[in-house]
Amino acid sequence: MVSVEQLHSFIFHDPEWRAWAKIVSNLTPEDDVKFGCDHGIQHWLNVSRIAADFARQAGGSDHDVALADLAGLLHDCGMICGEKNHAQNGANIVRPYLLARLGDAGNKMLSESDIELVCHAIAQHSDYTEINNLVDAALVFADKVDLGHHRTISINNDIQLSASQIEYIDYAVTNDAVIINYATTPDFNAYCFLTDWPKAYEVPLRIAVWLQKDCQFFVNNQRIILPK
């Protein structure tokens, strides 16, 4: 069975993947980049790491962890076509790419069903409309955690960073709950943040329901009662 490290190294050193990451890293808010955030290589690496860790904490197999990591590395490549429909565009780009390099036409590190799992996770990661498996759940969770740390907000058409107020985001998956804790500066307004970006709580809540667990959301270790 292919390992996390083998798959990660193969993609990380692939020239085409690096070319996609460079294009997306150089996009600006004027190019319709979501929230003005860097959606390039560092975001892709962060998401792959968090997705793999989440899948492991949630009880996934080594294979689940490897596919979650792979989905994280590839999830925003559709941004080379623009932000609109980037999730589905990404899946359309990734499918032939993986088949050629890692599937039957390549070195056969992945089965066709593996590739379809990764592509499905990528296709639904933006709107998380169809979480069917742990790879889907891990990718959505990881993407929103990293964006929650680095995103920006738009006020009166001016891009304003909120990342400086969010110092880090802790999370854990226990037997009973999905737990997420935002560590912030004292001036952080949790109500405004969650009103402006409800995905911050909607995603862990949706995933907790899928895992049949409670969702516990904290800001500076103080629990926030989430709307249902």
Please list, in sequence order, all residues whose beta carbon lies within 8 angstroms of the beta carbon of residue 93, skipping any fewer than 6 positions away: 77, 78, 80, 81
Q: What is the pTM of this model?
A: 0.89
- Which amino acid appears at position 146 of this protein? D
The beta-strand segments (E) located in 27-165 are 152-155, 158-161
Residue bearing tokens 């759940």:
137
Q: Can you tell me the mean pLDDT for 143-149?
A: 84
pLDDT at 108 over 80: yes
pLDDT at 67 over 50: yes
- For 210-214, the CB contacts below 8 A with 24+ separation are 210/131, 210/137, 211/58, 211/137, 211/173, 211/178, 213/173, 213/174, 213/176, 213/177, 213/178, 214/176, 214/177, 214/178
Q: Which residue has the higher pLDDT, 103 or 67?
A: 67
Q: Kindly state the tokens that stand for 211.
A: 């895992």
Q: Are 135 and 55 in contact (CB under 8 A)?
A: yes
pLDDT at 156 over 60: no
pLDDT at 190 over 80: yes
Domains with residue ranges and CATH for the chain = 4-224 (1.10.3210)
